[in-house]
Homo-oligomer: A and B are copies of this chain.
Amino acid sequence: MSPQRADAVRNREILLGTARQAVASGDLSLQLNEIARRTGMGVGTAYRHFPTRRALLEALAAPAFAGVVADARAAASHDDAWGAVAALLRGLLVRQLADAAFAEVIAADRADDALPETTALRVEFAALARTVTDRARDAGVLRADLTDDDLHHLACGVVFALGLSPDPGARLDAYLRALLQGVRAPGPA
């Protein structure tokens, strides 16, 4: 009746927890052999739950991804067209900074080996982002030469730039300001 056995559910949670801890401590390599060893499980168990590094990565990223989708939904129903763009970008930056796994997932557009649930999130997010972006462009507050994909890419680029700093969190606000100023339509004057 239940889709899987109780021990399997438990083991999956343990693996996810251990992996999340590894990522939080700065190790994004997600070596399944190593994670399995840390949990005391066999390697086979780890690989059955997460057949590839990518599968584990996307499982880790799912909550954060769902978060930005929620952000985007809120932004899409926001009154202020520019405020919506700013909220969307800020959310993207903050969540990527807080979750390296999510940052890697959202930056990789390669849908080849993506889990279906990740693809679903990506599609939903793309639609919302497009709404927000189009509205801002129509209102003349967003540069006309930038698409929703461009904003997505630039946000990932800024996160990459933050990652080059010794203390990314300390530069977040400055880079966000620059990003927003950069994508805003130049004054008509």
> A interface vs B, CB < 8 Å?
107, 109, 143, 145-146, 149-150, 152-154, 156-162, 164-165, 171, 174-175, 177-184, 186-187
Contacts and interface: CB of A to CB of B under 8 A. Distances in A.
B161 A157 contact: yes
A177 to B, nearest CB: 7
B177 A145 contact: yes
Contacts of A154: 158, 161, 175, 178
A156 B146 contact: no
B171 A164 contact: no
Per assembly, the copies of the chain total 2
A161 B165 contact: no
A149 B178 contact: no
A153 B145 contact: no
B156 A160 contact: yes
A153 B178 CA distance: 12
11 contacts: A107-B164, A143-B177, A150-B161, A150-B174, A154-B158, A154-B178, A156-B160, A157-B162, A160-B160, A178-B183, A181-B182
A85 to B, nearest CB: 13
Contacts of A150: 161, 165, 171, 174-175
Nearest to A159: B157
A164 B160 CA distance: 12
Nearest to A143: B178
A165 B145 contact: no
A149 B177 contact: no
Contacts of A178: 143, 146, 154, 182-183
